[in-house]
Amino acid sequence: MATSDKGKSLLICLGAVLLLALSWALPASGFLNPYIVQVLMYVGINMILTMALNLVNGYMGEFSVGHAGFMAIGAYVSSIITVAVLPRELAPWLFPLVLVMGGLAAAAAGLIVAYPSFRTRGDYLAIVTLAFNMIVKSVLENLEILGGPRGYLGMPRLTNLVWVTAWVLITLLILRNLIYSNFGRGIMAIREDEVAANLTSVDTRRVKIIAFLISAFFTGIAGGLFAHVLQFINPRSFSILKSTDMLVMVYLGGVGSLAGSLLGAAIFTVLLEVLRPLGLWRWVLGPLLLVLLMIFRPRGIMGLREWRWLQPVLAFGGGGQGPTAPGPPPA
């Protein structure tokens, strides 16, 4: 068993390296045209967003509807750093650090949202996050120094497919390790039965706040990546509509599933691109899809299931999901 476990880890590492190499080689060789590369980058960014939101809405069973607010904070903070703080020639080298700063800023905002929302039991989070999203957007629209409603520009195009792939892999790894741990089991216990979770000694308030901060952090990272693809951001990019898109990707792919998040983000992003000729009407797609999903398939494609290779080798039956029949650990 030990050797096959090692083999599996090795295979996954190789796969990751191969993926990174491909995401460098394919655009560099001109094999993929820039438009396809651009779409792939959006797919990756949306994957990060979806995994992050899934942690709160899918694994923990809370309902955040304003994650675009965290994305906005990540995008603006990282953009300000690359435009106004860092010297141009240094920016590419410090790009990961810049993204982390954006992520931390988003997490700090997450703390402000999470702290009052999780003080009591109940569904306050939806209302608070909705309000938060609107506040962030209108604050940005009224800050002339950040371009107000016209937006903020001048960022170098620092995001490339390699960075996006790397961050998708990092997010995937960290969230997977989080979910398949004591802490992750606590998160899922909150979804299942909060009172029982408390009575099995889960400090639900602390677990909820930390999970929410982690989610906000990665949403902020995705925002930074997004800003440095487009090289231009404005407050409208981070409206409720963006939050709705994230919700659709989560519930399409499947709640409580990383595999589902990857699938949901990929399918939805590509679908939106394919439907570009529909013009304005394609914005009807998101909300409509959300309503239909909630009615007909509330758990999504991969709801509460996980691909085998995404589960850690030491899972011993995993985070409680999927038909994995675990054996007892070797004595």
Q: Which residues, at least 6 apart from 268, have a Cβ–Cβ distance to it below 8 Å? A: 46, 245, 248, 249, 252, 286, 289
Q: Is 323 in the site for another protein (CB under 8 A)?
A: yes
Q: Which stretch binds another protein (CB under 8 A): 87-95, 138-146, 274-282, 319-327?
A: 319-327
Q: Which is nearer to another protein, 274 or 314 (CB)?
A: 314
Return the residue of 24, 63, 124, 183 that touches another protein, per CB under 8 A. 183
Quick check: 161 and 40 in contact, CB under 8 A? yes
Cβ burial 104-139 (10 Å sphere, 16+ → b, else e) = bbbbebbeebbeebbeeeeeebeebbbebbeebbee
Q: In the bound complex, what is the minimum distance in angstroms from residue 69's beta carbon to another protein?
A: 25
- Give the residue with the Cβ less far from another protein, 30 or 329: 329
- Dist. CA 41–CA 19, nearest whole Å: 13
d(CA 267, CA 248): 11
Near another protein in 5-64, by CB under 8 A: none
CA atoms of 319 and 93, how far apart (whole Å)? 37
Q: How far is the CB of 180 from another protein (least distance, A)?
A: 8
Structure tokens at 174: 């960290």
- Nearer to another protein among residue 16 and residue 270 (C-beta): 16
Binding to another protein by CB under 8 A, coded x per residue (else -) over 129-168, reads: ----------------------------------------
Distance CA 306, CA 51 (A): 13
For the bound state, the minimum distance from the C-beta of residue 97 to another protein, rounded and expressed in Å, comes to: 19
Query: What is the distance between the alpha carbons of residues 104 and 109, in angstroms, rounded to a whole number?
Result: 9
Task: Pick from 17, 90, 181, 274 the residue near another protein by CB under 8 A.
Answer: 181
Residue from 148, 149, 156, 317 that binds another protein (CB under 8 A)?
A: 317
Measured from the CB atom, the residue of 9 and 138 that comes closer to another protein is: 9
Size of the residue set binding another protein (CB under 8 A): 42
Provide the minimum distance between the beta carbon of 321 and another protein in the complex, in angstroms, as a whole number: 8
Query: Which residues within the stretch 197-236 sit at the binding site for another protein (CB under 8 A)?
Result: 197-204, 210
Query: Is residue 188 part of the contact set for another protein (CB under 8 A)?
Result: yes
The window from 23-31, 115-123, 226-234, 318-326 that contacts another protein (CB under 8 A) reads: 318-326
Q: In terms of CB distance, is 34 or 323 closer to another protein?
A: 323
In the Cβ-directed half-sphere of 228, how many Cα atoms lie within 13 Å? 28
Q: Which stretch binds another protein (CB under 8 A): 24-32, 64-72, 232-240, 312-320?
A: 312-320
Identify the residue among 20, 36, 143, 174 touching another protein (CB under 8 A): 174
Name the residues that contact another protein, by CB under 8 A.
174, 177-178, 181-186, 188-189, 191-193, 195-204, 210, 256, 304, 312, 314, 316-321, 323-326, 328-329, 331
